[in-house]
Chains A and B, each alone.
Chain A
Amino acid sequence: MEVFVTFLLNLIYISATLALIALGLAMVFGLLGVMNMAHGEFVMLGAYSVYVVQLAGQHFLWAIPVAIVICVMVGWLMEWLVVRHLYSRPFDTLLATWGVAILIRKGVEVIFTRDYKSVNQVMPGTIDLLGVSYPAYRLLLVALIIVLFVALFTWYQKSKAGLKIRAMVQGPELAAAVGIDTARLSRLTFIIGVSTAGLAGVLLAPLVRVEPYIGLDYLMSSFFILIVGGLGTLEGLLIGSTVIGGTDAIVSTVFDKTAGYMSVLLISILFLWLRPDGIFYRR
């Protein structure tokens, strides 16, 4: 029983964090068609925000506005200098954003060196839940992710800006014809996308290693999820995270971690082969 509950909590935790990690990439790719290879670097910037805030002796929560300010600035610059010239040129964007990724990584390396940075735990200790002691912060994190997704989903479905983004994604020309500034709206979407990546970095920082190269791992995980879940829908993102996280958790528990990782690769390959558009596809 105890083993099963732990397993279940691990499954929920991994699916939720994977969805959080992939959210920004899913937004930017699904809505703008931009494969942002620097996605992971924004996660990394978020994690370093926590380090800097704690270094300054401030509370962990300050990292959220700090990370958002940094991601908005970097994202704005990146969109303005690079990405906006390359919309609807997917391969060029891929190369250009990869260049930006290297730049951000090296920049952080120059400022902070390659050393691991330790971020203090937030809410250390465990909570007893259904007879299992589980890390308190993980439970908080899962709750926060659910709140974030509900808020984002509501905003996208109900707000005027969400409506305009949906309109722009569907018909950019018609959107411009009814007075929507698609260039500005694309920039806004891009900035929101990379800011959620930064937020993911803040929330994950107390749990993971922090060094300039962590972005690559997050980019990889996000790829797997988007391959399975398809692009452009929130449902797809959630299903992709659950399929990837669940497969890994189940196979790793029954066999070992190598088998778990292999099964994730296998599923991704099968999806690329048999359902290249993912489970959910609507565009």
Chain B
Amino acid sequence: MDRTILEVQNLSGGYGDLIIVRNISLSVYNGNTVSITGRNGVGKTTLMRLISGSLPLTSGKVNFLGNSIAEVPEHKRFNLGMSYAPQERIVFDNLSVKDNLTLHYLETDLDRYSNLFENFPRLRERLGQRAGTLSGGEKKLLSFTRAIAEPSNLVLLDEPTEGVQSDNIELMAQVICSQKSQGRGFLVVDQNLTFLESITDTIHLLDHGEQVYKTDNKRFRGEIETRISI
């Protein structure tokens, strides 16, 4: 049974008067991954920030689990069941890795992370370290781990593989696929098409802030590459 988790209709927005993305519509169903790709600077991150609530909408609708969340502040979307791993400033540099993983829970134990630590043992080794001392790829893993472990229906991942080693990228894809099978939905922005092909059900191509191509075909790599290189 396909239940709609996220429904975005004719969404436009940006920074103040400057509109970056226009007229975007997409839906994420449970057990599905919707991906967004495109060249740098076409508005992918802006779109994610509009959906996560970091930026206010200019027009359009965002429904989450059947209710409009356009007016819901960002921190409350977390409680509704939306996880978000942003593209930049992805961890709290001054806090320890452990604090990064626990500050938003009442309990400070790490039980919820035990499975994820199996995949990414480096994080467990560095629990006491300041997150600012991690490499860029390790920070991405930390941010990914934090978002995945949250008890949410939808996970927004913005460029999760940037700077991450290839064997860890494969592990990330595996984690996403197993989570999908448990009914979670994903909205992923990335430029690594190999990674995207292994997780995606529907992909959207963005250019100059507009949707230019969409396909449910799982083998989209050739088509997307031709369109991007034009």
- Do A and B touch directly, given a CB cutoff of 8 Å in the complex? yes
Which residues of chain A have a CB within 8 Å of any CB of chain B? 160, 163-164, 166-167, 170-171, 173-183, 282
Contact A166 B75 (CB under 8 A): no
Say how far B158's CB is from chain A's closest CB, in angstroms.
Answer: 10
In the bound complex, do residue B75 and residue A170 qualify as a contact, i.e. CB atoms below 8 Å apart? Answer: no
Chain B: which residue is nearest A160 at the CB level?
Answer: B103
Of the 9-residue stretches B28-36, B83-91, B110-118, B172-180, which lies at the interface with chain A? B83-91
CB pair A177–B93 under 8 Å, yes or no, is no
Q: Contacts A167-B95, A171-B92, A174-B89 given; 7 further ones with Cβ under 8 A?
A: A160-B103, A166-B95, A174-B92, A177-B78, A179-B75, A181-B75, A181-B76
A-B contact pairs, 14 of them (CB 8 A): A160-B106, A164-B103, A167-B95, A167-B99, A174-B86, A174-B92, A177-B54, A178-B103, A178-B104, A178-B146, A178-B150, A180-B103, A181-B73, A181-B76
Of chain B, the residue at the smallest CB distance from A174 is B89
- Is B52 in the interface zone, CB < 8 Å from A? yes
Q: Which of A166, A171, A179, A282 contacts B79 (CB 8 A)?
A: A179
- Assess whether B53 is interfacial by the CB under 8 Å rule: yes
Please give the distance in Å from A183's CB to the nearest CB on chain B.
8
Task: Provide the bound-state CA to CA distance between A282 and B53, in Å.
Answer: 28
Q: Are A163 and B74 in contact (CB under 8 A)?
A: no
- Nearest CB in chain A: distance from B41 CB, A: 20
| B 137-181 binary contact with A (CB < 8 Å = 1; else 0) | 000000000100010000000000000000000000000000000
B146: which A residues are within 8 A, CB to CB? Answer: 178
Question: Complex: how many Å from CA A170 to CA B150?
Answer: 21
Q: How far is the CB of B88 from the nearest CB of chain A, in Å?
A: 9
- When distances are taken between beta carbons in the complex, the residues of chain B under 8 Å from A180 are 75, 103-104
Q: How far is the CA of A180 from the CA of B79 in the complex (A)?
A: 10
Q: How far is the CA of A167 from the CA of B84 in the complex (A)?
A: 16
- Are A177 and B84 within 8 A (Cβ)? yes
Main secondary structure, interface of A, reads helix
What's the Cα separation between A179 and B53 when bound, in Å? 11
A179 and B104 contacting across the interface, CB-CB below 8 Å: yes
The verdict on B94 contacting chain A, using a C-beta distance below 8 Å, is yes
> Most B CB atoms within 10 A — which of A179, A180, A182?
A179
A173 to B50, CA, bound (A): 12
Q: In chain B, what residue has the closest Cβ to A163?
A: B103
- Give Cα A138–Cα B93 distance, bound, in whole angstroms: 40
Q: Which of B54, B85, B93, B106 contacts A176 (CB 8 A)?
A: B54
Contacts of A167 in B (CB 8 A): 92, 95, 99, 103
Residues in A neighbouring B93, C-beta threshold 8 A: 170
In the complex, which residue of chain B has the Cβ closest to the Cβ of A169?
Answer: B94
Whole-angstrom distance between the Cβ of B92 and the nearest chain A Cβ: 5
On whether the beta carbons of B86 and A170 are closer than 8 Å, the reply is no
Chain A, Cβ-Cβ closest to B106: A160
The interface residues of chain A lying within 8 Å CB-to-CB of B150 are 178
A177 cross-chain contacts in B, Cβ below 8 A: 52, 54, 74-75, 78, 84-86
Report A89 CB to chain B, min CB distance, Å.
Answer: 14
Residues of B within 8 A of A176 (CB): 53-54, 73-75, 78
Q: Which residues of A contact B86 (CB under 8 A)?
A: 173-174, 177
Task: Give the shortest distance, in Å, between B120 (CB) and chain A (any CB).
Answer: 19
Chain A residues whose CB sits within 8 angstroms of the CB of B75 once the complex forms: 175-177, 179-182
In the complex, what distance in Å separates the CA atom of A170 from the CA atom of B99?
A: 13
Residues of chain A lying within 8 A (CB to CB) of residue B99: 163, 167
Q: How far is the CB of B169 from chain A (nearest CB, A)?
A: 22
Closest CB in chain B relative to A280 CB, distance in Å = 14
Closest partner residue, chain A, to B102 (CB atom):
A163
CB distance from A93 to the nearest CB of B (A): 20
A182: nearest residue on chain B (CB-CB)? B75
Which chain B residue lies CB-closest to A168?
Answer: B92
> A166 CA to B99 CA in the complex, in Å?
11
List chain A residues, Cβ under 8 A from B90.
174
Contact present for B95 and A163 (CB under 8 Å): yes
| Cβ proximity bits B20-52 to A, threshold 8 Å, 1 near / 0 not | 000000000000000000000000000000001
A173–B54 contact, CB under 8 A? yes
A199 to B132, CA, bound (A): 35
Tell me the minimal C-beta distance from A85 to chain B in angstroms. 15
Q: Which of B73, B86, B92 has the most CB of A within 10 A?
A: B92
Q: B76 contacts which chain A residues (CB < 8 A)? A: 179, 181
Bound CA span A180–B85, Å: 15
Residue among A173, A177, A182 having the largest count of chain B Cβ atoms under 10 Å: A177
